[in-house]
Amino acid sequence: MRSWQPFEWIVALRFLREGRMQTAFIVGGVAIGVAVIVFMSELLLGLQGNFIRRVLTGQAHIQLLPPKEAARVLASAPGEIGAATVQPPLQRMRSIDQWPAVRDQLRALADVAVVAPTVSGSALVARGGASRSISIVGVDAADYFRIVPLPDKIVRGEPRLGPGDLLIGSDLGSDLGVSVGDKLVLTAASGAQATLTVAGIFDLGNRGANMRTTFAALHTAQSLMGLPGGATSLEVTVHDVWAAETVAQRITALTGVEADSWIRNNAQFFSSINAQSTANTSIRFFVGLSVAFGIASVLVVSVVQRSREIGILRAMGVTRGRILRVFLVQGSLLGMGGALIGCGLGAGALVLWQKLQRNPDGTPLWLLELHPALFASAVALAALTGLAAAFAPALRAARLDPVVAIRG
């Protein structure tokens, strides 16, 4: 037994079947347009996600720093006439004033995920007759490793940071000829010394970072740098990385401490991300516009070709509202059908692209994730576009005079 169908659907499907060639061409056009939109959108999301992971894997979203030394005005010598000399001061290593209280304030904010104090400074590491200039970062491992996943980057040893432990980069270890368990003597600019044991060797994926950066326990770095109980920065991560600059401004207003976000520190990178998003939006708009014109043109032709049938239907008592809905249903079906095929084509192109585009070592350039919400929105948008594009031809069909239409 044939299932019941509304009158509008029966007529719309019949019109589409009768114009198979036109239907196939417009569905194909919509499918190609939706496939382009899906492919480019997913590719851009993957590219941005990869950039974000690379930029933020080794740094916090927001960094709080102590205020800089103010410039000093040097008075002119007696008897000399001229403008006073402004001398920029030497920026000394300083701690954030009352940093535990500031940390507690930040942890109370809903937008903040993790807060970790650090002490950073330069030191000289020596082993035998070899020495290197390094940057030592003292951290509280429990909090800092939630910001920078250093345990995932350990290639030898353990991510252990006890009072006498040190984590070094693979290039520094190679240059000094040290391995896990060896001892290194660190000398700070103040003359303070500490003998630390290499607990682990990491690879940050950057030769410069692997050559200079080392990690020690927070108390160890405080003693070595002559900042007992101090912190030269507070590293902060937020739940929404794109809102980091807004949160940083709120933190500065709340605490009075200078807060720099990753967006401000990577302004050029952020500008390129915005430019990519703008370009992708423009492409999607013009592709959608071409799809709408395609559907509208096919339905205009359909109205002209079926004027006699429309006139007969009107003479039989079919209302203008029903005729209008017939062509609106056609537009929606064309848009949705093409979108479903286009989503499949776009997904297939993404899988093929990921298999063909590889790094020199054979690994994918970056991992692509298919977002169901994007596919659902593409289908819904195509259906709405088809509906909007069909409105003008449907209105024209509904306004046809039955007598004139039947006479031709």
Closest CA to 222 of 168, 266, 281, 163: 163
C-alpha span between 19 and 255 (Å, rounded): 69
Of 15-24, 147-156, 213-222, 345-354, where does mean pLDDT reach its minimum? 15-24
What's the helix, strand, coil split of the chain in %, to 5? 55, 20, 25
Residue 109 in tokens = 């904010």
Please say whether the beta carbons of 178 and 198 come within 8 A. Answer: yes
Q: What percent of the chain has pLDDT over 70?
A: 88
pLDDT of 85? 57
pLDDT of 72? 56
Assign 3-class secondary structure to 351-390: HHHHHHCECCCCCECCCCCCCHHHHHHHHHHHHHHHHHHH
Residue 72 in tokens = 């000093």
Q: Pick the residue with more confidence: 399 or 119? A: 119
pLDDT of 78? 56
Please say whether the beta carbons of 302 and 330 come within 8 A. Answer: yes
C-alpha span between 104 and 155 (Å, rounded): 34
**pLDDT one-digit tens code per residue, 310-363:** 777 777 777 888 888 888 888 888 888 888 998 899 889 888 888 887 777 667
pLDDT of 139? 93
pLDDT band at 89 (very low <50, low <70, confident <90, very high): low
Residue 46 in tokens = 């993957």
**pLDDT one-digit tens code per residue, 231-260:** 999 999 999 888 899 999 999 999 888 899
pTM of the complete model: 0.66
pLDDT of 1? 39
The mean pLDDT value for 100-104 works out to 92
Residue 43 in tokens = 């590719």
Q: For the chain, which domains are there?
A: 7-55+270-407 (no CATH), 99-256 (2.40.40.20)
Closest CA to 208 of 154, 132, 267, 279: 132
pLDDT of 357? 76
pLDDT of 246? 92
Of 16-30, 74-88, 102-116, 170-184, where does mean pLDDT reach its minimum? 74-88
The mean pLDDT value for 109-117 works out to 93
